[in-house]
Chains A and B, each alone.
Chain A
Amino acid sequence: MREKVTQIVKQTSLSIVQNEIQAVRRKNIRKTGCRVIADGKIGVAGGLGEVSAEELFARAEKSLAYGIDYEVELSRNLQKHNCLDSFVISDAELCKRVENILGEVRRRHPEFAVSNKVNLSHIDFTLENELNLKLQHRDCYLSLSFLLKKQGSTGIMDTFFGLVDRRLEEQRVIEAVSEVINAYNNLLPMPEKTLPVIISQGSLTRLFQRDLNGKMVGNKASLFQNQMGQKVFSDRFSLEIVRDPIETYGPDFDMEGTIPAEELNWLIKDGVILRPYTDKKTALRHGFANTGCADGNYDSVPSLGGANVEIPHAGKTLAELLNGQPGLMIQIASGGDFTPDGNFASPVQVAYLTDGHKLLGRVPEFTIKGSIFEFFGDDFIGVSSDKIYVNGNDRMLVTRLAVEKL
């Protein structure tokens, strides 16, 4: 049986130095991966550019001899085409509009320099096989990554604005960058009272990537080994695998063509750990449900990667979650880690005080600490229903963590 993966990336990339476009890069790269599956084994091969699929299949077939087990049932009888590539902008127009943003930021904030990248990416990804499977994901989106550096500061960057979107809202970007810079310039003392911490979900859910990995659970190496099926976290805390291509900027199928039933997306529901995340092989070997998390390069044997997880919100905005008090919104926290028993600690390099509507000012560097059983347990406050534009246009996690001055 044969499967083919085709990935075409067309990209225009603008390099920004000191508020000016210093370079324009264009690429158009096609990658093709071919798999041959026979008698419970798999062989793979891949190539760049215009390559002969027959030649790749022949190579893949030859590599069956290495004996890599793949005893899974292949996905079949499904045709799906996600087309999210309606954002159209010429390179010249993109340059002009980005220059407008950079020029206005410079006019408003001459003491700050903007650098790094704006990428416009067209993605066309297809997975197909001889069992009537053809899944296609097409998308076009813009990634803005602005490192903001104050003249005279000795660091590589001082603060940041980043965004992925399917449109370019110039004025909104300018206002958001201004809000970040104005807040950065307004250094406030650290409040004496312990405040809720507002942080990107991934910073604190990453332990689940390791310890709800199906291989870890299957091999009895997970922190949650003896807690599967038990209520471990707050009633209000759930964790689900998200697949909506509009939200994730990725396909809703995995590298094995799995789109699982909706209920299998729940890894944790109302505080109860339901299941680990898996691909077909891991599910089969350990007797778990397949949650469709096969990953890998276009030319790899599909294998269990990470899960794109999110904590669902309960309909409250950030301001409502803060309930009239300010919170500490963490923007840059580099160097933190979890201990094997679930304790988290991280220095926070840049954080802002916010009322849930606006950034009020910057607070000095500090350290955050907490246990996963507490910040997703009794200390869990919620996830904002509104997306916070100044912080990556993401829904932010609000919880309580120990905050210690450096």
Chain B
Amino acid sequence: MYKFPAGFYADVRIEKVFRSLVRIETGRLEEVKEKDDTGAFIRLFDGQRWFYASTTDLASIDFELAGLAKLGRADARINEHPAVRKMQVNTGDHCRFAQTSVSKVQLPEKITLTESFADLVKNDGQISHWSVSYSDAHIIKQFYSSLGASLKFDTQTAGLRLGFRFGSGANVFSETWCKALPEFKPLAGLHHEARELVEKAREFFTSAEKIQGGNYTVVLSPMAAGIFAHESFGHKSEADFMIGDEGMKKEWQLGKRVGSELLSIVDDGNLPGSGFTPFDDEGNRAEKTVLIGKGILRGRLHSAATAAELDEAATGNARSINFEYEPIVRMTATYIEPGNCSKEELIGSIDHGILIESVKHGSGMSTFTLAPSMAYLIENGKVTRPVKFSVITGNVMKTLDQIDAVSDRLEILSFVGGGCGKMEQYPLPVSFGGPYVRVREINVQ
């Protein structure tokens, strides 16, 4: 056990990380990499200020703790500090991927899998550029605190990313198929899904037409709904943005109506996938946190410090991208909860609207934008033809209120090769999703 200095709260997070990567680009194997790294992040709190150190030398952890203690002022009553009181004392070995660790799969097997996905596009005369990559990560974390936490847990993802571009010059269309799973083996059964998307993209490339901008009823696919939930509301639910701001606390008071009563948004680190975070990086257990319940603001995402500041429960959302960084409030798996109507019913009542099937990127401050990749016109209750436009945009709060139907099937999407960015910390693996969501009066540009 480490020598935690008296008069301080302190914790140590050790990360043992296995990663591998295989990348094939336009027919050539460009990269094969496998690595195993270990590092530690050390925190010390004196009641006024936090002091952090990161190191790759695990033998120096006690030395680092002692060094950090010299920067602070010891406080005999530190354990009574509200932020320290929000730190859970979890113990035990909660690892679940020891048997199925991606570190046990040999690289040639990963290369063969990647090549099998490359086969889907490699001799396609219409595709001018493509790449396929396989990547995985098995991260084992140990967490120890001066309160007595002694915890071991792990997370794992294995996934594929297939990017391809049809055409040349001004007549091009790029699309990406990407999927992550908690284990390696089931990836071998996903070729049909990737092939389907390639064919759908081909049809889009050959027949999509520009449409007139204006206000439309828009149906968001699970991917689009998930990005919207993450970018437009999820980040606003991260409580560190409210610290010390009385006006913000008043504006975001729990119990306030913030959207349509059909809308519920949840964050839950217990869900399998790229957002899986059974414990956060200060040792607190993941919670299912309802952010919006039937249009009412019900909760927000917390670290121990923000939970103490707002006198709410910690939610297990203090996360860092790796051992070089401190945990800050982040999302895990964020999604819109399903409703009661079928996808067909949801689309069937639209005379003239748009279905957004896939999205290139999204953003959401006071105004949100979603840049669609593949979108379709809805006419007389039917999805009719592919259409092109730049972005949909609108006021976030107004749009939350304009949701008027939510389909009954939830889809959570997990990814490799990217993630969420906040401040200096990018990329953090997250997942997101939802059902199909219908929104009235969205501006299409």
**Cα–Cα, bound, A354→B211 (Å):** 36
B369 touches A49 (CB 8 A): no
A24 touches B174 (CB 8 A): no
**Cα–Cα, bound, A25→B49 (Å):** 11
B124 at the interface (CB under 8 A from A): no
A83 at the interface (CB under 8 A from B): no
A-B contact count (CB 8 A): 187
For B397, give the chain A residue with the smallest CB separation. Answer: A154
For B54, give the chain A residue with the smallest CB separation. Answer: A27
List of A residues within 8 angstroms of B128 by Cβ: 219-221
B365 touches A349 (CB 8 A): yes
**Interface range, A side:** 35 or more
A30 at the interface (CB under 8 A from B): yes
B424 touches A119 (CB 8 A): yes
B49 touches A21 (CB 8 A): yes
B390 touches A340 (CB 8 A): no
Pick the residue among B53, B171, B173 that contacts A26 (CB under 8 A): B53
**Cα–Cα, bound, A221→B26 (Å):** 12
Closest Cβ of chain A to B341, distance in Å, is 30
For B370, give the chain A residue with the smallest CB separation. Answer: A335
B243 touches A17 (CB 8 A): yes
Closest Cβ of chain B to A59, distance in Å, is 9
List of B residues within 8 angstroms of A300 by Cβ: 31, 33
List of B residues within 8 angstroms of A299 by Cβ: 33, 35
**Cα–Cα, bound, A44→B39 (Å):** 21
- Given the interface contacts A152-B247, A223-B172, A337-B361, does A47 sit within 8 Å of B28 by beta carbon? no
A18 at the interface (CB under 8 A from B): yes
Which residues of B, 203-230, contact A by the 8 Å Cβ criterion? none
A327 at the interface (CB under 8 A from B): no
A22 at the interface (CB under 8 A from B): yes
A79 at the interface (CB under 8 A from B): no
Which residues of A, 214-252, contact B by the 8 Å Cβ criterion? 215-216, 219-223, 225-226
B37 touches A48 (CB 8 A): yes
A261 at the interface (CB under 8 A from B): no
List of A residues within 8 angstroms of B393 by Cβ: 335, 347, 367, 406
A284 at the interface (CB under 8 A from B): no
- Given the interface contacts A48-B39, A215-B25, A335-B368, does A24 sit within 8 Å of B49 by beta carbon? yes
For A18, give the chain B residue with the smallest CB separation. Answer: B244
B170 touches A25 (CB 8 A): no
A343 at the interface (CB under 8 A from B): yes
Which residues of B, 157-176, contact A by the 8 Å Cβ criterion? 165, 167-174
- Given the interface contacts A223-B169, A337-B360, does A152 sit within 8 Å of B251 by beta carbon? yes
A50 at the interface (CB under 8 A from B): yes
Closest Cβ of chain A to B291, distance in Å, is 15
- Given the interface contacts A154-B248, A221-B165, A335-B393, does A340 sit within 8 Å of B32 by beta carbon? no
B168 touches A225 (CB 8 A): yes
**Cα–Cα, bound, A223→B170 (Å):** 5
List of B residues within 8 angstroms of A274 by Cβ: none
For B393, give the chain A residue with the smallest CB separation. Answer: A347
B170 touches A342 (CB 8 A): yes
**Cα–Cα, bound, A218→B212 (Å):** 34
For B72, give the chain A residue with the smallest CB separation. Answer: A24
List of A residues within 8 angstroms of B436 by Cβ: none
Pick the residue among B50, B168, B170, B245 that contacts A149 (CB under 8 A): B245
Bitwise interface map of A from 348 to 380 toward B, beta carbon under 8 Å scored 1, else 0: 010000000000000001010000000000000
Pick the residue among A21, A63, A219 that contacts B32 (CB under 8 A): A63
> Which of B167, B248, B361 counts the most chain A CB atoms within 10 A?
B248
5 further A-B contacts with Cβ under 8 Å, apart from A25-B325, A221-B172, A349-B365, are: A15-B50, A154-B366, A219-B26, A226-B169, A406-B393
3 interchain residue pairs of minimum CB distance? A152-B247, A335-B369, A49-B56
Query: Can you list 12 contacts pairing A with B, beta carbon distance less than 8 Å?
Result: A25-B325, A66-B32, A153-B248, A154-B248, A155-B236, A155-B365, A219-B128, A300-B33, A335-B362, A335-B368, A347-B393, A365-B367
- Seen from chain B, the residues whose Cβ lies within 8 Å of a Cβ on chain A are 25-26, 28-33, 35, 37-39, 49-57, 71, 107, 111, 128-129, 165, 167-174, 235-236, 240-241, 243-248, 250-252, 324-326, 360-369, 371, 388, 390-391, 393, 423-424, 445
